[in-house]
Structure 1
Amino acid sequence: MSEMMNTGVWWDMDTCPFPKGFDRYQVRQSIESALENHLPLTSSAIGDVPFTMSAIGDLSRIPEADLEAILSTGFFTKHVTDGSSTSVLMRDMYAWAQNHPPPARVILISDHEDDDFVESRFFESLIAAEYEIIRAYRKLPLVSPNYASSTLTWDDSLLSSVFSSLALK
């Protein structure tokens, strides 16, 4: 039998807010269902392998109803101020990777430029260690990042049929 993959998801709420018209209480469930149905060797927190989801952003800017939904559906949250989310994302992903050796999958939902991740060789080090990296953007870049095994868009269609639209490279 194949080994299950640990999966960590980091959601940058500042650059990828809740899609308009989507039930904010269904975001986590939609992502979990999509991962279970469309990505091989994934298990949710109720399965055999830990499934971690973190929502990072300036929590003072998140509408109260959105924040309530995030907190009530089991996301880990972290408050960051302007300009610090990329470094916080990298630190959190690094700490997670230290506790979840491959095979494992890192999913980053963020519209931040990839320069900081590339210049620091952060994703390169994860790839060398054999982590799978999936990137989600509000708008797909013209050129998919070399480090990502898959790229996708973060919008209402993502959350309703989530990873069925993976654009595999």
Structure 2
Amino acid sequence: MTEYESKPTTGVWWDINTCLVPGGYDPRRVRPSIEAALFKLMGPHPVVIYCVGNLEYISRTLLEEISSSGIRFKHTPFGGVEFIRLLRTWCQEPGHPSTVFLISGDESWYTHRLAWSGFSWLRAYPARS
């Protein structure tokens, strides 16, 4: 096992319904952009990225471009019961994580659901006017 592989994984959970890929931005660059930001913040370490939301509202072409970068999909509303179950299950897997990074414009549920101990929490959201 290399030093990189022995570091805890950061799990990124991206709400594609409230944080769309910006117009004119190559969707295949989303993963490298997130990884670069995390590298600056935390140094080299494994990153797993999930695109979460109602994927029926996202074009097939966009989903294919996002998927080509290695981002995984979870078809469930971000912040809903199924999402929380998926996130908790992922957090309980051996070797996972020390950091959970949530990207969403939905702030209604954050404050009372991020109290799970033992994790560092990062959050990003769309710029406000």
Q: The TM-score by the shorter chain falls in which range? A: 0.7 to 0.9
What is the deviation of 1:59?
1.2
Bigger Cα displacement from structure 2, 15-24 vs 89-98: 89-98
Task: Identify the residue that residue 123 of structure 2 maps to in structure 1.
Answer: 135
TM-score, structure 1 normalization: 0.64
Task: Identify the residue that residue 117 of structure 1 maps to in structure 2.
Answer: 110
TM superposition outliers: structure 1 runs of 4+ over 6 Å: none
User: CA distance change for structure 1 residues 6 and 95 in 2, over 3 Å: closer, same or farther?
Assistant: same
User: CA distance change for structure 1 residues 20 and 104 in 2, over 3 Å: closer, same or farther?
Assistant: same
What is the deviation of 1:117?
3.4
What is the deviation of 1:55?
0.3
Residue 85 in 1 paired to residue 78 in 2?
A: yes
Aligned residue-pair number: 123
Task: Identify the residue that residue 33 of structure 1 maps to in structure 2.
Answer: 36
Secondary structure of the 1:67 match is helix
TM-score, structure 2 normalization: 0.81
Task: Identify the residue that residue 155 of structure 1 maps to in structure 2.
Answer: none
Task: Identify the residue that residue 161 of structure 1 maps to in structure 2.
Answer: none
Q: Extract unaligned runs of 5+ from structure 2.
A: none
What is the deviation of 1:23?
0.9
- The structure with higher relative contact order (CA 8 Å, sep 6+) is 2
Work out the percentage of aligned pairs sharing the same amino acid.
33
Q: Extract unaligned runs of 5+ from structure 1.
A: 45-50, 141-169
